[in-house]
Chain A
Amino acid sequence: QGLVPLSESTKDVGCCTQEDLRVDGRGCDDYRCVEVETDVVSNTSGSARVKLGHTDILVGVKAEMGTPKLEKPNEGYLEFFVDCSASAAPEFEGRGGDDLGTEIANTLYRIFNNKSSIDLKSLCISPREHCWVLYVDVLLLECGGNLFDAISIAVKAALFNTRIPRVRVLEDEEGSKDIELSDDPYDCIQLSVENVPCIVTLCKIGYRHVVDATLQEEACSLASLLVSVTSKGVVTCVRKVGKGSLDPESIFEMLETGKRVGKVLHASLQSILHKEESLGPKRQKVGFLG
């Protein structure tokens, strides 16, 4: 659909952002309806599914034991992998989705590459020897625009849902260490996701910028700004994508919008995750056939 070049005379979306009215009636700051569900994949340490309009993302987190990195002996770490499934968009057939997958994974590495996003020290089991490695796998089920936002929401929800088994390191007289897993399967540690950032993508269309662009709106946008924002409104990283240029004043305005929108995004996500948690283990899981 987006592969045919739009001629100048039929920019169906173009100037609609002038008066804060987009094609589907939303304002420039409005998101489409978001559905979040966690604990959807049974053999993971944590999982989440997020639907944002026609964009459908599934994230699974697996906690496995590994060796700490040499330069960070007291910390565990996260590994991201993004799979753009061929059923998400026709362009992803075969190896077509690999480039986008790598780009998204690299962006995730960047936004988590700071001291405060996740308390990596809590993932350490014994310094220089054992630590928890969280393998975060992202699966794109359907592509309907605004991938980065949806993926970052799903990653945060999956990390919130992640339960890591509690382990103890036992040392005997000879000095050899043994790792003991707790007998109780519900004895787990939960990660704090307070400072996990979410990405807000702002697409420049005409003279204004919009959040949560649909596929058609993305096709009309020549430049976008990806802003990674924490729940307190702190920007952890900014990335510009697209062939077009952005002038510094636009960038400043887009950053301000990103911070403002990001705080609301985090607040909504926190409240929905707590609401889901409060429903307890008896809640009706909708899953994939609902």
Chain B
Amino acid sequence: MALEMRLPVARKPLSESLGRESKKHLVVPGDTITTDTGFMRGHGTYMGEEKLIASVAGSVERVNKLICVKALKTRYNGEVGDIVVGRITERRRSAEDELAMRGFLQEGDLISAEVQAVFSDGAVSLHTRSLKYGKLGQGVLVQVSPSLVKRQKTHFHDLPCGASVILGNNGFIWVYPTPEHKDDDAGGFIANLEPVSLADREVISRLRNCIVSLATQRMMLYDTSILYCYEASLPHQIKDILKPEIMEEIVMETRQRLLEQEG
């Protein structure tokens, strides 16, 4: 059995360890961003008294004449075409619904779906009109802030380390064993309940811990960052990844590798 008790250690500010030269312009709601009225206002800002004021807490981003504030933590705002992962909590009860859908999807099921339409009050309607969506079988769900999920062309990834992930735009990330063959005829409503092998489960647990580490250190989540983090974590035991000092080390290495890849 493993049990580690320790005395708390004060955290160092992240910017110190990163050695950032350019400081980010951080704002909180109500802060003035600029008094120059020549800028176009983007998300997270509003105009008031001849000044541009921030409406969310985050960092200021500037693209030519457009100023917007990228929020640190947001509620999920649906956009058409987003992939979401979610659990069915309630459903419309009508006669046709009872006859047709209950056989496939029940309350409590985890599903992946695509956003079809967004209503004015922010509610979204989802569809599973493709074979790649539908009920999710065995796997692990990780919940992170929606602002950390990078928008990409595809959110379904089969990672080379031996498992697959679905990066829901709503911050729900599903890690599951890569299916051996794609059952085209079954569609997305039959859940595979066969026991998952120990090797697969180790990969999934490691991936899950890596995603949690990246989210804790506020790194963007996408296939490359998750994969690099997985590879950086290999020298450590799966359960040690979540220890504060090991988490920092792994994410630092991931950051380095991502910077090298960009530059």
- The residues of A with any CB-CB pair to B shorter than 8 Å are 1, 4-7, 9-10, 12, 15-16, 18-19, 21-27, 29-37, 51, 211, 260-261, 264-265, 268-269, 271-272, 275-276, 284, 286, 290
Contacts and interface: CB of A to CB of B under 8 A. Distances in A.
With a 10 A CB-CB cut-off, give which of A10, A26, A264, A271 has the most chain B CB atoms. A10
Nearest to B4: A33
Nearest to A7: B108
B11 interface: yes
23 contacts: A7-B106, A7-B108, A9-B109, A9-B137, A10-B108, A10-B110, A12-B110, A19-B201, A21-B201, A21-B202, A23-B205, A24-B239, A25-B206, A25-B241, A26-B2, A29-B1, A34-B6, A36-B8, A211-B1, A271-B5, A272-B7, A286-B7, A286-B9
B239 A35 contact: no
B238 A276 contact: no
Interface residues of B, number: 44
A33 B141 CA distance: 22
A290 B9 CA distance: 7
A219 to B, nearest CB: 11
Contacts of B11: 290
Interface of B: 1-11, 87, 89, 106-110, 135-141, 143, 191, 193, 195, 198, 201-202, 205-206, 208-209, 212, 237-239, 241-244
B1 A12 contact: no
Contact of B244 (A24, A30, A33, A261): A33
Nearest to B198: A19
A35 B1 contact: no
Contact of A32 (B139, B141, B238, B242): B242
B109 A21 contact: no
Nearest to A11: B138
B1 A260 contact: yes
